[in-house]
Amino acid sequence: MTNEITHGNLGIGEVTLKINLVGVVGAGVMGSDVALDLACNGYRVVIVDIDEMILDKSDEKMKKTFSLMKMMSPKYRSLDWNVIDEKIEFHTEYKALSHVDLIIENVTEDWNVKKAVYEELREVCKEETLFAVNTSCISITKIAGLMKRPDNVLGTHFMNPVPMKTLVEVIKGHHTSEATVETVTAFLKSMNKVPVVVNDFPGFVTNRVLMLTINESIWLVHDRVGRPQDVDKIFRLGFGHEMGPLATGDLIGLDTILKSLEVLHDSYNDPKYRPCPLLRKMVDAGLLGKKSGQGFYTYDKRN
């Protein structure tokens, strides 16, 4: 699949950017799902993680996720894993991204980590490469300030699990060009996603509300107002949510929830974002949710 999309004015008139090769930085839960979804939609993918063990686990996870996708959604049943797998390359060095057209970055919600990653990408990527920051709360404008072409940077906040969710929150930073927004939204539509464009502010729309909801739900457990299963049941049956906030926190990762709340608390200096002590205690204990096998609920780590 090659999508020809008019992108921007690079000083030489309008150019046609062919998004064919996509880089994915970070091979954790989110990065693996993004890479798999890209390959299922016909794109060639270069996935980079500095930890080779994480890359090995990523390949295994994608194969298991693909099997589940085929069972749950008819649109994937005609796809063959071997064909999908051939579209994905695994690398431990950023130089493997030197020729990609678009990078979707998925590293941990930590400014120092992201800053180091973008300083590396700035040196190896071609000038016209677009950068899509898959972040929960960190400023897109701040990240764009690290790059040679800040107008080529925007946020793409995918929902979890990526292959099964259509919404992508697209965040326009202060410097993001309209051409970049148009190119990336067209690209997302080619993946059967529904992009919704919002402006850059800590937490954007989704996580500015969601993190408050999850944190307050943890306070309910901390204060012994209700058990986790009862808090979630109220949200599922009372408000029609597919998942309760505590199960959602487990799915995202309680360590990610904590880091996101810390970013929001620091950004707004508002006590309403203060993380619940129970959340800190669980993260300190390694009870991170689904990825560790234990959070507010118990999970089979083999799945």
- Rounded mean pLDDT, 19-26: 95
Domain with 88, as residue range(s), is 21-199
Residues in the chain: 303
Per-residue pLDDT, 74:
87
Is residue 220 one of the residues assigned to a domain?
yes
The answer, yes or no, to whether residue 221 has pLDDT greater than 80, is yes
Asked if residues 192 and 145 have their Cβ atoms less than 8 Å apart, the reply is no
Catalytic residue from among 152, 207, 215, 292: 207
User: What are residue 91's DSSP bridge partners?
Assistant: 48
pLDDT band at 302 (very low <50, low <70, confident <90, very high): low
Q: What angle do CA 133, 104, 102 make, to 5 degrees?
A: 115
The answer, yes or no, to whether residue 268 has pLDDT greater than 60, is yes
Domain boundary at 199, 234, 260, which? 199
Q: Is 207 a catalytic residue?
A: yes
Catalytic residue from among 169, 217, 265, 292: 169
70 labelled binding-site residue: no
The answer, yes or no, to whether residue 173 has pLDDT greater than 60, is yes
Helix (H) / strand (E) element for 251: namely helix 245-252
Q: In terms of Cα–Cα distance, which of 255, 256, 188 is closest to 38?
A: 188
Q: What percent of the chain has pLDDT over 90?
A: 86
Asked if residues 7 and 183 have their Cβ atoms less than 8 Å apart, the reply is yes
The pLDDT tens digits of the residues spanning 95-154 come to 999 999 999 999 988 999 999 999 999 999 999 999 999 998 899 999 999 999 999 999
109 labelled binding-site residue: yes
29 labelled binding-site residue: yes
Q: In terms of Cα–Cα distance, which of 38, 84, 65 is closest to 191?
A: 38
Residues 189 and 170 in one domain: yes
Alpha helices in 16-153 (DSSP H): 29-40, 52-72, 81-86, 111-124, 140-144
Q: Is 169 a catalytic residue?
A: yes
Catalytic residue from among 157, 175, 215, 292: 157
Sign of the alpha-carbon dihedral angle for 33, 36, 41, 44 = positive
User: What are residue 199's DSSP bridge partners?
Assistant: 172
Look up the CATH number of the domain holding residue 219. 1.10.1040.50
The answer, yes or no, to whether residue 248 has pLDDT greater than 60, is yes
Is residue 35 one of the residues assigned to a domain?
yes
Residues 103 and 185 in one domain: yes
Which whole-number Å values give the CA distances from 275 to 70, 214, 224, in the listed order?
38, 10, 17
Specify the pTM: 0.86
Give residue 138's Cα distance to chain centre.
12
28 labelled binding-site residue: yes
Catalytic residue from among 136, 152, 260, 292: 136
Q: For residues 303 and 90, which has the higher predicted lDDT (pLDDT)?
A: 90
Residues 150 and 288 in one domain: no
Residues 107 and 36 in one domain: yes
Residues 278 and 129 in one domain: no
Tell me which residue has tokens 């060009």: 177
Q: What is the mean pLDDT of the chain?
A: 92
Residues 32 and 101 in one domain: yes
Per-residue pLDDT, 303:
56
Mutual angle of helices 245-252 and 254-268, in 10-degree steps: 100
pLDDT band at 17 (very low <50, low <70, confident <90, very high): low
Structural domain count of the chain: 2
Residue 76 CB contacts under 8 Å (≥ 6 apart), including other chains? 40, 66, 69, 70, 163
Per-residue pLDDT, 13:
34
pLDDT band at 10 (very low <50, low <70, confident <90, very high): very low
Residues 214 and 115 in one domain: no
32 labelled binding-site residue: no
Per-residue pLDDT, 75:
84
Per-residue pLDDT, 109:
87
pLDDT band at 11 (very low <50, low <70, confident <90, very high): very low
pLDDT band at 300 (very low <50, low <70, confident <90, very high): confident
Q: What percent of the chain has pLDDT over 70?
A: 94
160 labelled binding-site residue: yes
The answer, yes or no, to whether residue 2 has pLDDT greater than 60, is no
Q: Is 174 a catalytic residue?
A: no
pLDDT band at 197 (very low <50, low <70, confident <90, very high): very high
Tell me which residue has tokens 């579209």: 87
